[in-house]
């Protein structure tokens, strides 16, 4: 039986874990009613929040607490990458059973701290309470130079569609995790991508700084679901060439295609570039593959060019919490 701690004692543990504030912009962090933040001149602020819930997004008995910590912050930071911004600070709302306020909590906090250090995003505050399930909600504040943010709404017909990295790898990792007994380990690249995803911050900022992308978002719910959102926001349609998808090489061909189209949790960037500018895009950006997978079309449909040149509608088959069962069911 873990001894019960008070809310104040838990707040002190969090303060100790994260240490003193380093950013000059963050003049006051944890320990008051609100944090104080001053963005630099010429910058706009980015605000985004993300749920990370036991049973829906992770399983207590399968996901190591430090991976829960890393991923809860990394996936929220990915939304800042998707706007071409730089993360600055975050608020951590945490609810958990009193029995987890010992080792589980301190290991979780170490995972959050590692993400905080590596992604350059400082803890600014939060709220902690007790619940029977582990609930995490993270708000990230970022900044982007005025006029540089890349929105979902800027794609035009004729723009080429690109994705970074490999699609479907995190979902393959989730399948491995579900198949193997016990607590998961990052024993291969698929499991590593599922447990410790890397938001594409450098690529997002480079695309924003060069004004290369006409629209952008991150792929969190799967290409088929997220591309539809990009098209809706931009009021265009899309044609995707199935043969061009950067799927997982180790999976069987049919599997790799399904994973690449519908697999969630990759946190790769999906972006469009005008045909005129496409030649300025390298095939790799600091080692990360950039793949041309199709183009935007005026007709508001999403079409997949499949094998033997057959065209078929691409239906949203990615993650939708209101349609799918949670991974534990």
User: CA–CA distance from 4 to each of 60, 260, 286, 318 (Å)?
Assistant: 20, 45, 48, 41
Provide, rounded to whole angstroms, the least separation between the CB of residue 276 and a copy of itself: 25
Q: If we measure between CA atoms, which residue out of 235, 214, 241 comes closest to residue 299?
A: 235
Provide, rounded to whole angstroms, the least separation between the CB of residue 212 and a copy of itself: 17
Residue 66 burial by Cβ neighbours in a 10 Å radius (0-12, 13-18, 19+): buried
| Interaxial angle between packed helices 169-179 and 253-262, expressed in degrees from 0 to 180 and rounded to the nearest 10 | 110
Site for a copy of itself contains 99 (CB under 8 A): no
Contacts of 285 (CB under 8 A, 6+ apart): 164, 202, 203, 206
Site for a copy of itself contains 299 (CB under 8 A): no
Site for a copy of itself contains 174 (CB under 8 A): no
Determine the interface stretch with a copy of itself among 167-175, 184-192, 226-234, 299-307 (rule: CB under 8 A): 226-234
Site for a copy of itself contains 91 (CB under 8 A): yes
Site for a copy of itself contains 44 (CB under 8 A): yes
C-alpha to C-alpha distance for 243 and 305, rounded to whole angstroms: 8
Site for a copy of itself contains 125 (CB under 8 A): yes
Nearer of residues 43 and 306 to a copy of itself, judged by Cβ:
43
Site for a copy of itself contains 139 (CB under 8 A): yes
Contacts of 231 (CB under 8 A, 6+ apart): 155, 237, 238, 296, 300, 302
Footprint of a copy of itself on this chain (CB under 8 A)? 4-8, 10, 27-28, 31-39, 44-51, 53, 55-56, 79-80, 82-83, 85, 89, 91, 93, 95, 98, 101, 124-131, 135, 137, 139-142, 144, 146, 149, 151-153, 217-218, 229, 232-233, 320-323, 326
């Amino acid at each position: 039986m873990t001894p019960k701690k008070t809310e104040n004692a838990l707040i002190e543990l969090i303060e100790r874990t994260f240490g003193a504030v380093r950013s000059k912009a963050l003049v006051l962090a944890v320990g008051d009613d609100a944090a104080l933040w001053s963005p630099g001149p010429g910058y706009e602020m980015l605000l985004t929040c993300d749920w990370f819930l036991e049973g829906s997004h992770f399983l207590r008995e399968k996901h190591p607490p430090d991976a829960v910590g890393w991923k809860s912050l990394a996936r929220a930071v990915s939304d800042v990458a998707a706007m071409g911004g730089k993360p600055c600070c975050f608020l951590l709302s945490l609810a958990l059973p009193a029995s987890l306020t010992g080792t589980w909590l301190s290991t979780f906090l170490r995972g959050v701290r590692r993400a905080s250090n590596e992604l350059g995003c400082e803890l600014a505050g939060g709220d902690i309470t007790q619940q029977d399930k582990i609930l995490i909600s993270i708000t990230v504040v970022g900044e982007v130079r005025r006029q540089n943010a890349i929105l979902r709404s800027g794609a035009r017909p004729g723009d080429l569609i690109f994705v970074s990295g490999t699609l479907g790898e995190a979902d393959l990792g989730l399948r491995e995790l579900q198949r193997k007994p016990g607590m998961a380990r990052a024993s291969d690249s698929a499991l590593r991508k599922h447990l410790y995803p890397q938001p594409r911050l450098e690529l997002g900022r480079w695309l924003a700084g060069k004004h290369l992308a006409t629209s952008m978002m991150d792929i969190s719910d799967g290409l088929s679901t997220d591309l539809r959102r990009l098209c809706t926001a931009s009021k265009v349609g899309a044609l995707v060439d199935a043969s061009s998808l950067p799927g997982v090489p180790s999976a069987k061909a049919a599997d790799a295609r399904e994973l690449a189209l519908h697999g969630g949790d990759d946190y790769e960037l999906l972006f469009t570039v005008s045909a005129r500018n496409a030649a300025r895009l390298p095939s790799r950006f600091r080692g990360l593959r950039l793949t041309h997978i199709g183009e935007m079309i005026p007709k508001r449909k999403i079409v997949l060019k499949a094998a033997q040149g057959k065209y078929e509608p691409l239906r949203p088959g990615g993650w939708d919490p209101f349609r799918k069962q949670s991974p534990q069911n």
